[in-house]
Amino acid sequence: MGLRRAIVLVALMEVTWSLNVMTIGPETVFSAHPEAAEENAEQEAAAAEEDVMATGELNPNHYPAQRAAKVVQHYLNMRYGSPYKLFGLKEVHSGNVEEVADSGRKYQLQISVQEIISNTEEKCSAEVFFPSGEKQLSPQVQIPSCEEILKLDATSEEEALYQQYKTNKTVHTEKPLPDSYGHIDPEMIPFWHLSIVATSFIMLKESTQNTLYNVAQVANITQLATENDQLKFDCHVLLHDLVSQEIPQVKLLFTWSPAEGVKVLHTEQLPHIHGCEKQAKPN
pLDDT value for 44? 53
Span 254-280, pLDDT tens digits: 999 999 999 999 999 998 887 544 444
Mean pLDDT of the chain: 84
pLDDT value for 5? 52
**Hey, what amino acid is at 260?**
E
Contact status, residue 128 vs residue 159, Cβ threshold 8 Å:
no
Cα 64 to Cα 101: distance, rounded to the nearest angstrom? 19
Asked if the bond preceding 248 is cis, omega within 30° of 0, the reply is: no
pLDDT value for 273? 83
Q: What is the DSSP string of 204-233?
A: HHH--TT--EEEEEEEEEEEE--SSSSEEE
Domains of the chain, each with CATH number or no CATH: 2-150 (3.10.450.10), 155-274 (3.10.450.10)
Tally of CB atoms within 10 A around 64: 22
Contact status, residue 184 vs residue 30, Cβ threshold 8 Å:
yes
Cα torsion angle, 18, 122, 188, 242, sign = positive
Closest CA to 231 of 171, 188, 146: 171
Contact status, residue 103 vs residue 240, Cβ threshold 8 Å:
no
- Average pLDDT of the segment spanning 23-45: 40
CB-based burial, 9-23: b 16+ in 10 Å, e otherwise: bbbbbbebbbeeeee
Span 93-146, pLDDT tens digits: 999 999 998 899 999 999 999 999 999 999 999 999 999 988 889 999 999 989
pLDDT value for 134? 82
What is the three-class DSSP state of 60? coil
Task: Indicate whether this model's pTM tops 0.75.
Answer: yes
What is Dmax (Cα atoms) for the chain?
56
The share of the chain scoring above pLDDT 70, in percent, equals 78
